[in-house]
Amino acid sequence: MNSLTEENYLKTLFILSNETGEVNVIDLSKRLNIKMPTVTSMMKKLADKKLVYYESYKPLRLTEKGKKEAGIIIRKHRLTEMFLVKVMGFGWEEVHEIAEQLEHTRSPSFFEKMDEMLGYPKLDPHGSPIPDKNGKVEWKKYSKLSDCKTGDTLKLAAVIDSSEEFLKFLNSRELKLGLKVKVKSIEPFDGTMVISYGKKQSETLSHTVTERLLGELMDI
């Protein structure tokens, strides 16, 4: 059985690997805000448990066993977020910290019942895929709003950043998943984008925001 700390390392390595491809100790140290020697020590420990492939100065990789265990932790987190939103009525900006605590609950039947009550969802409230009970994930290829061209229409499907601050910002602009966003203009200098959606004919978003919004390009 892995400790809460070990589970957090596995989960973070899993997510970082999907985001960037290769992950090293520096990347993990920055994401977790933990000193490098501490991270290195933990990687050696997880390597001894056959959860991580670790060699000095080489990228970190999860073993198949490590991937499965990380996927199950993420499954519990994302199912919890979905339950909090769909059943309990929390806002999507309120659920991350609660799910961080419940993801370490060691009761598979608890999460299986939660999954059943939700109707076996494939995505969490932020559009991220929910791994199956074996920890496997079906990744979907999305486009970033920041990569779109003037005239493109993107149906918002997911957010990269699920922090409370970012989601509150989206709430304040009435931006939510499922909306069709049309790119009206792009500032060449810094990528600032003017978009329209719903009843809004003009909304300006910085590149910091648009690179965190994912979706499917529409043929319109």
- Domain of 119, CATH number, reads 1.10.10.10
Whether residues 187 and 127 fall in one domain: no
Report yes or no: 71 and 63 within 8 Å, Cβ to Cβ.
no
The one-character DSSP state at 104 is T
What is the b/e burial string over 180-197, where b = at least 16 CB atoms within 10 angstroms of the residue's CB?
ebbbeebeeeeebbbbeb
Domain extent for 121 = 71-139
Give the pLDDT of residue 220.
64
CA distances to 9, 155, 182 from 159, rounded to whole Å, are 22, 12, 17
Residues 203 and 152 in one domain: yes
Total-model pTM = 0.90
139, 154, 186 - which closes a domain: 139
Percent of the chain scored above 90 by pLDDT? Answer: 89
Q: Is residue 149 domain-shared with residue 207, that is, in the same domain? A: yes
State CA 180 to chain mean position distance. Answer: 21
User: Based on the domain organization, do 163 and 205 belong to the same domain?
Assistant: yes
What's the whole-number mean pLDDT along residues 119-140?
A: 94
| CATH number of the domain within which 192 lies | 2.30.30.90
Q: In this structure, are 106 and 45 located in the same domain?
A: no
Computed over every residue of the chain, the mean pLDDT equals: 94
Residues 45 and 78 in one domain: no
Domains contained in the chain, number: 3
Same domain membership, residue 56 and residue 80: no
Res 186: pLDDT: 97
Report the pLDDT averaged over residues 108-124. Answer: 96
Place of tokens 């009435």: 174
pLDDT at 20: 76
The residue among 85, 104, 139 that closes a domain is: 139
> Mean pLDDT throughout 5-29?
90
Residue 100: other Cβ atoms inside 10 A: 14
Mean pLDDT of 47-72: 94
Average pLDDT over residues 14-34: 89
Q: Which domain-ending residue is among 139, 171, 199? A: 139
CA dihedral 143, 174, 114, 65 (to 10 degrees): 30
Shared domain check, 132 and 151: no
- The pLDDT of 144-172, averaged and rounded, is 96
Closest CA to 169 of 95, 93, 85: 93
Do 84 and 150 lie in one domain? The reply is no
Are 174 and 116 in the same domain?
Answer: no
Residue 12 has pLDDT above 70, yes or no: yes
Q: Look at residue 19 in the predicted model and tell me its pLDDT.
A: 79
Q: How confident is the model at residue 139 (pLDDT cuts 50, 70, 90)?
A: confident
In a shared domain, residues 82 and 18? no
What is residue 54's predicted lDDT score, i.e. its pLDDT? 93
Q: What is the 3-state secondary structure (H, E, C) of 5-18?
A: HHHHHHHHHHHHHH
Is 114 in the same domain as 148?
no
Q: What is the mean pLDDT of residues 109-124?
A: 96
